[in-house]
Amino acid sequence: MANIVTIGSKPAEGAAAPEPQAPQGHPAAAANGLHVTDSAVERIRIAMAKEGISPEEGGLRLGVSGGGCSGLSYAMKFDSRPRERDRVFEFDGVRVFIDPKSFVYLNGVTLDYEATLIRQGFNFINPNSTRSCGCGSSFSV
């Protein structure tokens, strides 16, 4: 199974949480590109509305930067428009932008959103990742 990195709130100390699994009914990862689950699309849409980001022009920017315990870290932020060389994906009216360098590491990723009593946040299900660290926000390939 692909390594899964969770970005979001962590369980309280001493609390046990099951490892996130690939969402049922969705492919583990898109064959050529990015897959965003319905729960992640809904959460992105809510956050964009709160931030005042227009879905017609703006979107969620996913990226990868150097750093973290395992060498690479995921980055998420809102952007008012795509950049010239971005790959642009659309899921039920929500756009996701990925720059060409980050796409090398994010090709085939599934972005999911999990909300349970123990934790909530986005999960990157990355078939390219060979390991992730205990902090839950970095990976290596």
Per-residue confidence (pLDDT) for residue 73, from 0 to 100: 86
**pLDDT one-digit tens code per residue, 20-73:** 444 443 343 344 699 999 999 999 999 999 999 998 999 999 999 887 766 788
* Residues β-bridged to residue 63: 75
CB of 114 closer than 8 Å to CB of 8: yes
**pLDDT one-digit tens code per residue, 77-86:** 999 999 999 9
Exposure class string for 28-56: b at 16+ Cβ within 10 A, else e: ebbeeebbbbebbbebbbeebeeeebeee
d(CA 65, CA 72) in angstroms, rounded, equals 6
- The domains located in the chain, with CATH, are 38-131 (2.60.300.12)
- Does the pLDDT value for residue 118 go beyond 90? no
Q: Could you give the 3-state DSSP secondary structure of residue 81?
A: coil
Per-residue confidence (pLDDT) for residue 66, from 0 to 100: 83
Per-residue confidence (pLDDT) for residue 127, from 0 to 100: 87
